[in-house]
A = this chain, B = another copy of it.
């Protein structure tokens, strides 16, 4: 349905051509400072029309908080947010042939099959405009994640068509084993990524190549896909719920719910299938000391884990549960279905074939615009898993302490020694 999350519950609404789009966010922590100023920046980052490479429609997308705050502080009650659809032009896409033919690889046909009603905009809720509610909601989530644990979420374009920032090689079938990649995800910031607008690939050479590549598709009235890589840093350990709601399953669900996505991979991903286990396994090492947050928040929260891993092919998740290392993943976006070229296809009723041509200018590649949406869905998946684990954490904090939760090194080794010598009569 149109709801995401169990604890931090986001319900979105709105098509391209109705009065407004927006959302209700239920479960927002009470007592947090929050105004529209916290939300608008990501709204603006997701806005189309930021460059010649992307669609030129200029939508302002000003968000208005309707409820759930008073004097700039969250009340703990549902926060409704709306963004008006200022530009309500149902038949703006250029020709009436479109009413007759379902657009290939669009949602026009499947929406009609599902609902039995044809919206004038085709597949209304499949529009990129639907993501406005998600981005607005996630800005609240992100603020909480930042204040409570210093969590940072940064996405960037990692490939466009066949142009990759880290092309797979025999040595590194996945970037996970490549130190340059690990170093990048440790330090990359949104500011850095936005220096590379319009492409948002934080590498000068790759970025320029991608821009040219996209321009080429644009000029041929064609389109091309690409991938977005996202890293989430400072996530506490223990997030993700066995067995169906593993952290990577929640992230995969979140990402594949974004329009135009075709794939998701966590950590080493598909390339990791080609790395031997002996290399792929991440050995444990003592975690470095982390300075306390300026907000002073951490002392009441989930403590930082004692251990971390030397490598991070796991992408910060093991057994479906976060281990405190950076989570990173990659999302595939298909080439946009709307292209200027003529396409042979069938009418809705199958009675005739014909040629469909989209007029106007279209976005030849959505990945640069997808960056803030990937970040948004990552924030929603993480905040929900965090609240689930915090609930468990507090629940068990109230129980009388257990005598022993892990074997103490010394005694366990002694036991082992004894067993080796058969002291306990156990055959070796």
Q: Quick one: which of A131-174 are within 8 Å of B by CB?
A: 144, 147-149, 159, 161-162, 173
Would you list the 3 A-B pairs with minimal beta carbon distance, nearest first?
A107-B319, A223-B277, A263-B265
The distance from the CB of A93 to the nearest CB of chain B, in whole angstroms, is: 13
Q: Quick one: which of A7-54 are within 8 Å of B by CB?
A: 7, 9, 11-15, 17-24, 26-27, 29-32
Contact between A402 and B117 (Cβ–Cβ < 8 Å)?
yes
Contact between A161 and B274 (Cβ–Cβ < 8 Å)?
yes
- CA of A384 to CA of B82 in the docked complex: distance in angstroms? 27
- CA of A102 to CA of B295 in the docked complex: distance in angstroms? 31
- Which of B68, B96, B222 lies in contact with A18, CB distance below 8 A? B68
Q: Quick one: which of A372-428 are within 8 Å of B by CB?
A: 387-400, 402, 405-409, 412-413, 415-416, 419
A20 closest partner in B (C-beta): B66
The distance from the CB of A299 to the nearest CB of chain B, in whole angstroms, is: 9
The distance from the CB of A177 to the nearest CB of chain B, in whole angstroms, is: 12
Contact between B402 and A73 (Cβ–Cβ < 8 Å)?
yes
- Which of B24, B309, B393 lies in contact with A394, CB distance below 8 A? B393
Contact between B259 and A319 (Cβ–Cβ < 8 Å)?
yes
Can you spell out 30 A-B residue pairs with CB atoms less than 8 angstroms apart? A1-B9, A1-B245, A12-B78, A13-B68, A15-B70, A15-B75, A29-B392, A96-B413, A110-B240, A110-B321, A111-B242, A114-B238, A114-B240, A117-B402, A123-B319, A144-B399, A147-B400, A224-B276, A225-B275, A244-B253, A246-B257, A249-B252, A262-B267, A273-B335, A297-B398, A297-B400, A301-B394, A306-B349, A348-B407, A390-B394
Cβ-based interface call for A119 (8 A): yes
The distance from the CB of A139 to the nearest CB of chain B, in whole angstroms, is: 16
Contact between A75 and B115 (Cβ–Cβ < 8 Å)?
yes
Cβ-based interface call for A234 (8 A): no
Contact between A243 and B125 (Cβ–Cβ < 8 Å)?
yes
Q: A96-B416, A161-B273, A263-B263 are in contact. List 15 more A-B contacts (CB 8 A).
A: A18-B68, A19-B64, A100-B412, A105-B318, A115-B396, A162-B173, A222-B276, A249-B257, A259-B320, A280-B334, A285-B345, A295-B400, A300-B397, A348-B409, A390-B391
- How many copies of the shown chain assemble into the complex? 4
- Using an 8 Å CB-CB cutoff, how does the interface string of A244-286 with B read, 1 for contact, 0 for none? 1110111111111101011111111110111111101111111
**Given known A276-B222, A405-B118, contact A244–B1 (CB-CB < 8 A):** yes
Residues of chain A at interface, number, CB under 8 A: 197
Contact between A283 and B123 (Cβ–Cβ < 8 Å)?
no
- Which of B78, B80, B270 lies in contact with A270, CB distance below 8 A? B270
- Which of B120, B159, B253 lies in contact with A273, CB distance below 8 A? B159
- CA of A362 to CA of B168 in the docked complex: distance in angstroms? 29
Contact between B3 and A11 (Cβ–Cβ < 8 Å)?
yes
Contact partners of A99 in chain B: CB under 8 A: 407, 412, 416
Contact between A67 and B13 (Cβ–Cβ < 8 Å)?
yes
Contact between B262 and A265 (Cβ–Cβ < 8 Å)?
yes
Cβ-based interface call for A296 (8 A): yes
Q: Quick one: which of A320-367 are within 8 Å of B by CB?
A: 320-324, 332-337, 339, 341, 343-353
Cβ-based interface call for A241 (8 A): yes
Cβ-based interface call for A126 (8 A): yes
A334 closest partner in B (C-beta): B272
Cβ-based interface call for A95 (8 A): yes
- CA of A298 to CA of B113 in the docked complex: distance in angstroms? 16
Cβ-based interface call for A130 (8 A): yes
Cβ-based interface call for A215 (8 A): no
- CA of A66 to CA of B317 in the docked complex: distance in angstroms? 28
- Using an 8 Å CB-CB cutoff, how does the interface string of A226-243 with B read, 1 for contact, 0 for none? 110000000001111111
The distance from the CB of A406 to the nearest CB of chain B, in whole angstroms, is: 5
A170 closest partner in B (C-beta): B162
The distance from the CB of A399 to the nearest CB of chain B, in whole angstroms, is: 5
**Given known A31-B117, A332-B265, contact A110–B323 (CB-CB < 8 A):** yes
The distance from the CB of A254 to the nearest CB of chain B, in whole angstroms, is: 8
The distance from the CB of A14 to the nearest CB of chain B, in whole angstroms, is: 5
